[in-house]
Homo-oligomer: A and B are copies of this chain.
């Protein structure tokens, strides 16, 4: 199981500062959507240059123009870009085609997909590398339970690997590990912790 650190701050200095403290503990570093909106993909380039041993994911949440937008992420140094599962199939196809050409990867974000089982069957035909179960940040504080989704996605996926995101902390993690996701995505528990390294170590221990 890989640990993906989501840098969701909208300040790249702060994000890089946190990453410095935990870079040896994570496998994938995610440059979050707000950070990219604010500063553009140069943040991706800077983080990849500073940490070439890490995989860098650009959370572009691509919805249109799959080839053009995926290329913007990959050319900036991203190893993985995200595409929305609610996008049209052709958009996802074009992003995945770019990934194949450039030997990079695509993670589908399943946020707001209504019929997850049906959609995964359609998505598997396009062969994205990962499908991410994602409880919308905006819904977490309304008591949505991400575990039901995790179970559903795990049973539906055949070829793509599962990533799990959404308010993951050491309390909920053991219940998620049961479903053997390829990637566990942790954001706030590490980045908002008074001691980010201690928080990352705590997660790492559970993943071992």
Taking Cβ atoms with an 8 Å cutoff, the residues of A that contact B are 10, 33-34, 36-42, 60-61, 63-66, 68-69, 72-73, 84, 86-88, 90-91, 94, 111-112, 136-139, 142
Contact = CB atoms under 8 A, between A and B. Distances in A.
B37 A69 contact: yes
Copies in the complex: 2
Contact of A64 (B88, B136, B142): B136
A195 B82 CA distance: 36
Contact of A90 (B39, B40, B139): B139
A138 B66 contact: yes
Given A88-B139, A90-B142, A112 B37 contact: no
Contacts of A36: 37, 40
Contact of A137 (B37, B39, B64, B84): B64
Contacts of A42: 39-40
Given A38-B72, A138-B91, A63 B61 contact: yes
Contact of A40 (B37, B61, B86): B37
Contacts of A112: 63, 86-88
